[in-house]
Structures are given as C-alpha cells and as structure tokens.
Structure 1
Amino acid sequence: MNRQKTGIRWASAWHTVVAVSFLCAGCMLEQEISRTPRTAVEQLLLTEAVEMALKNVALSLPDRSRLVIDVTGLHTDRALITQPGTGINLTTTNQQVLQGGSLDLVFIRDAVSTALSKQGYRIHGFAPVDTEPDYVARIFVESWGTMQGVTFFGMPPVQSLLIPFSLPELTLYKYQHQRGYGRLHIDFFNYKDGQYVDSTSTIIGRTFYDQYTVLFFITWVKTDLTVPP
C-alpha cells in the first residue's frame, strides 16, 4: 500500500511539472548579436562562406595577368583599430573612432588572392618587384557576417523571490540557428590609366549551423561546415 501511495505521489508531482511547463510555455523568436570573441563555430561559418562564394568566381581577363589586389567594404565592430604611430588600441579607448580598415577585409583580400592565384593569375606582391601589374582587382565586399536566432517552446529559467531556489529551463523544443553569409564582387581596372575593364557577377556563399533540443536533453546538430567543433 505504501509503495502504491508513493507511486501515486511521484506521478502527481510529474503531472504537476508538466502542467506548469505548459501553462508557462510560450513561443519566442530572439535575435542575438554576434558575441566577442568569435566562437569556433562562428569563425567557420564566416571563413567557409567566403570559400563557397569564391568557388563561383570567373574572370574574363587574359591568362596569367598580373593583378594587384585591393579591397573595400563597410567597417565592422570587429576591426582591431590602432592609431597610427601610437600603438593605442582605439577599440577599447574610444568606441566612436574608426581608423584604418577592418581585419575582416584583410582576410577576404587574402582569400581572394589565393583563389585567383589558383586560376593562374599572378598576384602582385609575390612576383619580383621589377614587374608592373596589368590590372587592379578591387574586391567590393557587399556583406559578410553571421545571423543568429532562437526558437523556444517550454518554460524559461525561473528565479523566485518567494522561495529560496530557482527552477532550471524546461525545454520541450528549442531551435538555435546560426547562418554565415558572404556576398561580394570584383571590379577590374587598367593599372596604367585606371580605365574600367570588367566586373565579376555577384558571388554569394552561405553556411549554416543548427542545434536542436527536444524534451529537455535530447540534442542534435545539422550543419554544412567541414568538420565542425
């Protein structure tokens, strides 16, 4: 009899928890800004987005043309900014001052240089210094970043002022998604007179990393990243 009563009590307690979860449950869609420093997943989302975009790049320039690579794009809050000649990092001293280019743009410039070199073009800076470039390749970075969001159904963590303990998050369904996105094109100019020559089409790269949680602790991940962490 005692065992039966104990079983009934446990069943009642479990039903109470489930009922509270459904009463407090709700659906929400949150947008999160990128965190600093970048996680390994976010870094892979960005780098592989650029790699995917560059797989579709095609040039109409003569074979083995000598190129000098330039890059332009919007500043981001990720730039490591230093006042020239002072060594002072303005990222920590004055958030409103921007000096120089973002290191993100340097990364994209180097990635494009490697991709064009693999196609047989000679990149100025690696060739002997007495050679003059044929064209200026200006990379126009239209967009490069990540997007994150959470869809949650369950009871969020509860911190009560009346009772001396808190309740953890009770997750019935949680969908955390991250997207990497890169979009750019390349303009070409004659090196000697600056005359416009040609442009590539807009090239786009996309990546994703999705994490699912069902019934509190059952989790799995879907992604197109190569060897994700």
Structure 2
Amino acid sequence: MSGEFTPVAVVTGGSRGIGRAVSLMLAERGYAVCLSYVSDAGSAQAVVDAITAKGGRAVAVRSDVGIEADVLALFEAADRLGTVKALVNNAGIVDVAARVDEMGVARLQRMMTTNIVGSILCAREAVRRMSTRHGGTGGGIVNLSSVAARLGGPGQYVDYAASKGAIDSFTLGLAREVAGEGIRVNAVSPGIIDTEIHASGGEPDRVARLGPGQPMGRAGTAAEVAAPVVWLLSDEAAYVTGANLDVSGAR
C-alpha cells in the first residue's frame, strides 16, 4: 500500500513498552506507523528500523503530547505518510509514590497535561482527519487507560489514577459523539505490565514484587496489551465503540 490510500496509525509514546509493541503489531497488519517519543531517540529509531526492515513504513517524531504545537507537527508528519485511520493514545506518565497531601502543583499539572490534555489534543486531530463530517472516511481511536482508575492508587499515585479516570470518561463521551461519523473510540485498561514505566515512577522492582501476587501469578507483557489494542482497531471489532477492555489478568 502506498500514497494517499496508505492507512496510517499514529502511536503516541511508541518507542518503548506497550507503544513499541503496538507499533510493531500495527505495521505487521499493513499500517504505516507514525510514532511519537519525547527523549529516547535511539529507542524510537530502533522501532522504525524494525518496521522498515520487514518492508513497512514508519517515522518517529519527537513530540510532547502536552504541547499543542508538537501534536500538530506529529499529525502533519502522519499526513505525509498517507491517510490517518488509527490513533493509539498511549503516551502517559507516572511519578514517584506519594500521598495527595505531599503532591505539589507542578507534579499535578504535568500529570494532567500529559495524560489527559495530550490524549484529547491527539484525538481532536484524529477526528478532524477521520470524521465523515470533515470529509474523512472513518477510523479508530484507542486510549490507554489503567485499572488504577477503579483501584484509586491510594498511597502511591492517586493523581495518575484520577487522570486515567478522566480517560475513561473521555473515551465514552467521544465514542458517542462521533459514532455516527465513522469513528470508533475504545479504551484498554492494563494492570501490572512488565514495561519501563515502573522505573520512571521510582519503582524498578515493582513487576518482580507484585507480579507473583496477581491472580494469574505473573505480570502481563506489552504484547498482551498490544493485541487487544490492535483488535479494537480491526474490522473484527466493527460494532465495538465506547468500550473499556480490562487487560489486567483479573487484578
């Protein structure tokens, strides 16, 4: 597939963890992939190289989703690849464990800007391209939420949990808003997944510590989250919208 009819997937935070797994899996299914990263250019390029080595098309764009200009640049890069048909709002951050009475405004603003505002900005740009109301031909959006939204994250990251609760509400509202415009909007809510995000939150041993205590006796893998994401974007999920798929191993 080439030119203007190439289906393009935008994957935010696509250089590592779940985003990397999603990018590789979507490329295998014929998408050109436009992935964003913030600081790890080497990891982002490695994903691009892995895709192109198998004959696919991909580009990595340095983009902080909490900055509108960066989001616009990300989607402009995606437009150069072809027609945007999928968005995976994967970019998100955690912070070190803290109680609410220990949290400062800077932490809260950073958390909400990246996890909530960033996802909404990216969805806005996707809708402008996909919606039949705007001359598009439809598409799919999958937002990465978390089981933290229903567990609350007490004593660790109530702010992160709250940001994912907002993603749950946003997913349902946007799904109903654009259901008649050819766009399906869903979410996945991972549990304990073996990725680098735990180290960024100051707990590099979190998977080893909590994994064995999960109902399935282990943490999940990035690929085990990516597969439901890709399914939600496929024609097999043609009548699925407004859903939030629990991928927590019954946590």
Task: Classify the TM-score, shorter chain.
Answer: under 0.3
Q: Normalized against structure 1, the TM-score is what?
A: 0.23
Q: Greater helix percent: which structure?
A: 2
Structure of higher RCO (CA pairs closer than 8 Å, 6+ residues apart):
1
TM (norm. structure 2) is 0.22
Greater fraction of residues in strand: 1
